[in-house]
Chain A
Amino acid sequence: MSKYLIEKYYRTERLPHIWCPGCGNGIVLKAIVKAIDNLKINKDDICVVSGIGCSSRATGYLDFNTVHTTHGRALAFATGIKFANPKLHVIVITGDGDCAAIGGNHLIHAARRNIDITTIVFNNNIYGMTGGQFSPTTPTGDKGTTAPYGNIDPNFDLCELAKASGATYVSRSTVYGVNMITKQVEEGIKNKGFSFIEVLTTCPTYYGRKNKKGDAAEMIRQLNEMTVNINAYDKLPEEKRENKIVIGELYRDTREEYTEKYDRLIKSF
């Protein structure tokens, strides 16, 4: 199955990929490809857009229409692509720094407009490509190369941000639950509107080493321990909820999609 997916959807001449040993990005990418395969969408009807960062290298390995854009602007380019050809399924692959820091403004406005884009954020809690600087999602107190005594900034809850900005599908998963990522990406692509999927992934090279989190397998296990499914979370007693990250489908809404609204406006003249 794996081999079939790789031969069908990857630019095999570019493999093996550049990501570090134990990096979770490869797992997330395979889960995304599997979701596309499950939905049986034609390869030419998909456009994958990415910004800059470790995760954004993904577009180079995928054999769809792909655009590798400037730092933080993946959603801006994706909005243009969706407008030019509303029939395309536009998927944005972005990292936590790319999406929440440099491209934070594009995220909130794309969500506000409810444009039909599926955004998948590979959240590894750090800027991996540039050498381990702390990002807006680095938990308070954790270390990075630019926060040697611990980060004093409060970290972003990206799902809450997307929900508050107006996204119509918001979910979170981890690289431990690979099948959950696939399911959420399927739901995200099916949702007619802005879908936001945050995937918690691992960076053993910088985040793991700086914070003494153990090896790659240990970090994946820790992701499982610190998260709890939303269905179980509601039943948990108050004292056990502390420091738990909620995963699963967090929010769903129905609102008119942006390109449809625009189309209606044009037709009214």
Chain B
Amino acid sequence: MKTLNDKKLIVEEEFCKGCGICVAFCPKNVLKVKNGKVLIADIDSCIQCGICEMRCPDYAIYLGGK
């Protein structure tokens, strides 16, 4: 699926603790945990719902841009 607007999914690696909350809640299985950090594995499936941003306790993943 094409990205819906100009927002971009950004991961701040130094903030991520690899808890896997975003991976478990992502409705489209976009994310994966690799070597203790979150990894954007399938960006084409992302629907930019923002659940990962809302649930991340470490402020490590967010939709950037306005």
Contacts and interface: CB of A to CB of B under 8 A. Distances in A.
- Chains A and B form a bound pair: yes
A30 B17 contact: no
B55 A220 contact: yes
Interface of B: 10, 14-15, 17-21, 23-25, 53-60, 62-64
Contacts of B62: 1-3
Contacts of A17: 58
Contacts of A24: 57
Contacts of A204: 19
A22 B22 CA distance: 10
Contacts of A19: 57-58
A200 to B, nearest CB: 14
Contact of A16 (B17, B25, B53): B17
A interface: dominant SS: helix
28 contacts: A2-B53, A2-B62, A2-B63, A3-B64, A15-B15, A15-B59, A16-B17, A17-B58, A20-B17, A21-B18, A21-B58, A22-B19, A22-B57, A26-B56, A26-B58, A26-B59, A178-B54, A178-B55, A215-B19, A216-B19, A216-B20, A216-B21, A217-B19, A217-B20, A217-B23, A217-B24, A218-B24, A220-B21
A228 interface: no
**Which range contains the number of A residues in contact with the other chain?**
20 to 34
B53 A27 contact: no
Contacts, number: 62
A250 interface: no
Given A1-B63, A22-B21, A30-B59, 15 more contacts: A1-B62, A2-B53, A2-B62, A15-B59, A16-B58, A21-B17, A22-B17, A25-B57, A26-B56, A204-B19, A216-B19, A217-B21, A217-B23, A220-B21, A220-B55
Contacts of B64: 3
A3 B66 CA distance: 11
Contacts of A220: 21, 25, 55
Contacts of B17: 16, 20-22
Interface in A68-113: none
Nearest to B21: A217
B20 to A, nearest CB: 6
Interface string A1-29: 11100100000000111011111111100
